[in-house]
Structure 1
Amino acid sequence: MEVAVLKQSGEDTGRKIALAESVFGIEPNDHAIYLDVKQYLANQRQGTHKSKERNEVAGSTRKIKKQKGTGGARAGSIKSPVFRGGGRIFGPRPRNYSFKLNKKVKQLARQSALAYKLKDNNISILESISFDGPKTKDYLKLLNGLSLTNKKTLLVLADVDQNVVLSSRNIKNAQVTTASNLNTYEIIKADTLIISEGAVQKLEEIYNSAS
């Protein structure tokens, strides 16, 4: 599929770029997308949650009343979970939520997400992107030229450009990444992808070489 190449100002260059069917035109796999997003979110979890169990709370272990004859249930310690201030039964413990996902599945998920964006015409290709310095107003000018000021955008660069990254940092719903760091969650979360021509070539190299 061919997509128009735009200037940084949003004007049409008059050229079109053919996006590789093997990367942007595959039949999307929803389950692969689900698994990759699930893994990404699981990896963000710190897993440091912890509650005290009965052997960890402060309190006496003295038997608080006799075993029989009180008319109530037996009670051996004030630290019992049935009492206020006692330990918690089966409380959360620190754990690692991450899990392994096959590289082929992750690649399929990212290509599927890209295919959905292309199918919905939510991909803009820019000839090149460069700023003289880290200025928020320059990035706002870029979004305004593309009529994407009020959209969630993900700008994909071929390589890290600190001026572009820093210019976008104070703008709500504007995110910048590189072709090699692109992930499914970021693609799905964004309303529109803005991809530089260099990044398109890099994406096609990455995914075609991994096939």
Structure 2
Amino acid sequence: MNLSVLKYTGEEAGRSVVLPEEVFGIEPNDHAIYLDVRSILAGKRQGTHQSKERGAVSGSRRKIKRQKGTGTARAGDTKSPLFRGGGRIFGPRPRDYSFKLNRKVKRLARKSAFTYKAKTSHISILESFSFETPKTKNYLGMLQNLSFLDKKTLLILPSVDKNILLSSRNIKQTKVLCVDHVNTYDLLQAKQLLIMESAIGSIVEKLTQ
């Protein structure tokens, strides 16, 4: 796929780049995408939920009535889950929801996500740039120049640029990541991918080697 390179001012840079087929033109694998997104969302869960079972509820362990001859059902102590104020049966316990996913599956999922964005023309290539100082106004101006102010965007940088990161963090519906931190979930969430020209090589290298 051949895309024109744009300046952050919205003008064309006068050249184009070819997106490598091995990353942006594969046969997408929906199941790999599903597994990777599920893994990412599971890893974000805190897993700190907990309820009190009968062993954690305060109260006496004395049997509240005799076993037979009362005309009613047998009963143990007041901490029984059958009584009001008693413990909970099989309640949630703190746990780790994350699970391991093979590296090849993760790479396939990210390449599939990039391919979907390329097929639907939701990728824009930007000429490398930076801001002299971190200002939200600068990033908003860039989005306005590119006509993406009302879209959910993801800007991919070759490496960490503090001024760009600080300029974008207070803007809704926008995210900035360097190549090392790009994941399938963020790729799919964004309506428009903004890839810095100098980041294309790093993306290909990371997903093919």
Deviant stretches of 4+, over 4 Å: none
Using the TM superposition, give the Cα deviation of residue 129 of structure 1 relative to its aligned residue in structure 2, in angstroms. 2.3
Aligned length: 209
Name the residue aligned to 2:50: 50
Counterpart Cα distance in 2 of 1:180 and 1:95: 28
Using the TM superposition, give the Cα deviation of residue 68 of structure 1 relative to its aligned residue in structure 2, in angstroms. 1.9
Counterpart Cα distance in 2 of 1:115 and 1:136: 31
Identical amino acids, percent of aligned pairs = 61
Which blocks of at least 5 consecutive residues in structure 2 are unaligned?
Answer: none
Structure 2 letter corresponding to 1:160: V
Name the residue aligned to 1:34: 34
Q: What is the 5 A alignment of 1:16-165? A: 16-165=16-165
TM-score (norm 1): 0.97
Using the TM superposition, give the Cα deviation of residue 35 of structure 1 relative to its aligned residue in structure 2, in angstroms. 0.4
Using the TM superposition, give the Cα deviation of residue 160 of structure 1 relative to its aligned residue in structure 2, in angstroms. 0.3
Structure 1 letter corresponding to 2:54: R
Using the TM superposition, give the Cα deviation of residue 170 of structure 1 relative to its aligned residue in structure 2, in angstroms. 0.5
Name the residue aligned to 2:170: 170
Counterpart Cα distance in 1 of 2:43 and 2:92: 18
Name the residue aligned to 1:11: 11
Which blocks of at least 5 consecutive residues in structure 1 are unaligned?
Answer: none
Structure 2 letter corresponding to 1:97: Y
For residues 12-53 of structure 1, give each alpha carbon's deviation from its aligned partner in whole angstroms, at most 9, with x where no partner exists: 112110000001110110000000001111111121211111
Counterpart Cα distance in 1 of 2:4 and 2:71: 83
Structure 2 letter corresponding to 1:47: G
Structure 2 letter corresponding to 1:40: I
Counterpart Cα distance in 1 of 2:129 and 2:57: 58
Counterpart Cα distance in 1 of 2:3 and 2:55: 65
Q: What is the 5 A alignment of 1:161-200? A: 161-200=161-200
Q: Secondary structure at the match of 1:84?
A: coil
Counterpart Cα distance in 2 of 1:152 and 1:112: 20
Structure 1 letter corresponding to 2:108: L
Structure 2 letter corresponding to 1:81: P
Using the TM superposition, give the Cα deviation of residue 70 of structure 1 relative to its aligned residue in structure 2, in angstroms. 2.3
Counterpart Cα distance in 1 of 2:119 and 2:70: 73
For residues 156-205 of structure 1, give each alpha carbon's deviation from its aligned partner in whole angstroms, at most 9, with x where no partner exists: 00010000000001000110001121100000111111000011111112
Q: Secondary structure at the match of 2:156?
A: strand
Name the residue aligned to 1:206: 206
Counterpart Cα distance in 2 of 1:83 and 1:151: 54
Structure 1 letter corresponding to 2:143: L
What is the alpha-carbon root mean square deviation over aligned residues? 0.9
Using the TM superposition, give the Cα deviation of residue 119 of structure 1 relative to its aligned residue in structure 2, in angstroms. 0.5
